[in-house]
Amino acid sequence: MKELWEKIKEALVSALPVTAIVYIMALTPWFDFSATELITFTVGAVLLILGIGLFNLGADLAMTPMGTHVGSGLSRQKKLSLLLTVCFVLGMLITIAEPDLQVLANQVSAVMNGTVLIVAVGAGVGLFLLVAVLKIVFQKSLSHILMLFYMLLFAVALLLVVNGNEALLPMAFDSGGVTTGPITVPFIMALGVGISGVLGDRRNKENSFGLVALCSVGPILAVLLLGVFSRNHLSYTVPDYTVSQDVLGTFLHTAAHTCKEVAIALGLIVVFFILCQVFFLKLNLRHLARIGVGVVFTYVGLVIFLTGVNVGFMPIGYKLGHALSRVSPWFLIGFGLVMGVLVVLAEPAIHVLNSQVEEVTGGLVKKRSMMIGLCIGVGAAICLSMVRIAFDFSLVYYIIPGYGISLALSLFVPPVYTAIAFDSGGVASGPMTSGFILPFAIGACVGLQGEAAVLQDAFGVVALVAMIPLITIQLLGFRGILKEKRAERRAMKRILDADDQQIINFL
C-alpha cells in the first residue's frame, strides 16, 4: 500500500498539469463547457490518476519481471529456433490482442478488411520482434538495421502515393505508435533486457533496448503494403464526440467493454508466461505470488485508465481543438506546444521506460534528463502537427527530413542513445496521445479545414510524436559526448600544467 500511494502521488503530479490547463481554458470566453462535460472530465481525470498509479505499480511487480524472466529463461535453453519461434508467436498474439489495434482497424475499415489488417499488423510485429532478437544474438548494429528498414518503408510509401492512396500515409505511420501500446511495451522492453543479459556482450546496454523500435516498424509496413494492394479509396467519418447526459451509464458501459479488451490482451501474456513457467522457468511460489498481485494491479489500473481517457478526455480534447482553431491558428500552434509538454507526463509507459533506462545504463542516463528530452520532443511534435493542420501540407515534408536527421544522428552518438531514442518514440505515442491529442487534432482540423481534410491533415500527429523524440534523445547523447570531451580536455590540460610546473621546479 505504501508503494501504491507513492505511485498515485507520482501520477497526480503527472496528470495535474493537463487537468489544470483544461479547467483554466474553461474559464475563458472561448469555451462553453456544460456542467455535464466538466463533471465527466473531472471523473475521467480522477480515474486517469488512479489508473496510472495502479498500472505503474503493476508494471514494476509483474510486467517487467515477467518479460525479464521469459527472455533470460528462453535464452538459457541455448536453442535459437525455440527462441525465435516463441518470440514471433508472442509478438503476433499480444499485438492482435492490443486494444488500440481494434481502434485502428475500425478507422480503416472502409479501405480494407479489419480482420486482415489485424492479422497483418500482428504478423509484422512478430516478424520484427524476431529481427530484434536476431540483432541481439548476432550483435548487429541497431542503426544499420533501422536505416535498411526505414528506406524500405519510404520505398513502399512511394508506391502507395503512386497507387493513389496517399491519404492512408498518415494513418500508416500513426499505426507504428498506436500498436505498441501500454500492455506490450513494458513486457517487450523487459524481454530485451532478459535476452541481452544472457546472450549480450560488452554492448549489453545497447542490446537491452531497440525491441520496441523495431516492433514499431512492423505495423507501418503492414498498413502501407495493404494500402498498396488495395483498390479502394479510403473514406473517414468523424466520430461522435458529444458527452452523454447519462454520465454513470457511459462510464459503466465503457468500463465493461474495456475490461473485456484488456483481459484478452493481458490474458495472452499471462497464459504464455504460465507455459514458460511450467516448461523451463520453475520460479518459486514467492515470485509467482508477487507477479500475480502485479498482474491484478496492471489489469485494474489499465481498465481504469483507459475508461477515464476514452470517456472523460476524448470529447474534451476534440472540443478544445475545435474551439481554439476558431480563435487563431497561431494560438492553436502555441497551445499545441504547451499541451505536448504536459501530456507526455501522463503517459503510463513513459515512467516504466525512464526507470528501465536509468537502471540499465547504471545512472548514465537519468530519469530527469529523459523526461525533459521527451517533454521537449513531444511538445515540438504536436506544435508541428498544428502547423500542418493550419497550412494544409503533406506529412511527407516532416517524415522524410525527420527520419533522415534521426538516422544520420545515429552515426555520431553512442549506440545506447540510438536504441533508447527509437524505443522512446514508440512509448511516447501511447493512449494519452491517441485518446486526447488525436481528438484535439481532429477538432482543430474540422474547425480550420473541414471534415474532408481530417484523414490527410489530422492523422499523422501520433507519427510525429513517435518521431521527434528520436532527434531530441540523440541530441541529448550528442551533448553528453561533447561534455565528456570537454572534461577530458580539461583533465589533460591540468595534467600538462602539472607536468610543466614540475619541470620548472626541477630546473
Q: Which of 82-91, 202-211, 345-354 is modeled with the greatest confidence?
A: 82-91
Q: Which residues of 456-483 are buried (b: 16+ CB within 10 A; e: fewer)?
A: bbbbbbbbbbbbbbbbbbbbbbeebeee
Mean pLDDT of 403-415: 87
Whole-number Å distance between alpha carbons of 312 and 307: 8
Q: Is the pLDDT of residue 362 over 70?
A: no
Between residues 106 and 173, the one the model is more confident about? 173
Give the side-chain half-sphere CA count within 13 A for 55.
30
Residue 196's pLDDT band (cuts 50, 70, 90): confident
Please say if the pLDDT value at position 211 is more than 70.
yes
Residue pLDDT, tens place only, 142-182: 888 989 999 999 999 888 888 777 778 888 888 877 777 66
Please provide the average confidence, as pLDDT, over all residues in the chain.
82
Distance from C-alpha of 245 to C-alpha of 242, rounded to nearest angstrom:
9
In whole angstroms, what is the distance from residue 491 CA to residue 495 CA? 6
* Cα 240 from Cα 442, distance rounded (Å): 12
- Distance, in Å, from the CA atom of 178 to the CA atom of 215, rounded to the nearest integer, reads 11
pLDDT digits (tens, 9 = 90+) for 21-72: 889 888 888 888 888 999 999 999 999 889 888 988 888 888 888 888 888 8
Q: Residue 258: is its pLDDT beyond 60? A: yes
Residue with cell 522524410: 400
Least confident of 77-86, 217-226, 356-365: 356-365
pTM: 0.83
- Tens-place pLDDT, residues 303-325: 998 898 888 888 999 999 999 98
Cβ neighbours of 314 (radius 10 Å): 21
- Contact 467/396 with Cβ under 8 angstroms? no
Burial of 132 (0-12, 13-18, 19+ CB in 10 A): buried
- Grid cell at residue 183: 500492455
- Would you state the cell numbers that stand for residue 64, as one nine-digit string? 517487467
| Cα–Cα nearest to 424, from 359, 352, 362 | 352
Please state, in angstroms and rounded to a whole number, the distance separating the CA atoms of residues 387 and 92.
36
Query: What's the pLDDT at 78?
Result: 80
State mean pLDDT over 206-226: 82
What confidence tier does 202 reach under pLDDT thresholds 50, 70, 90?
very low
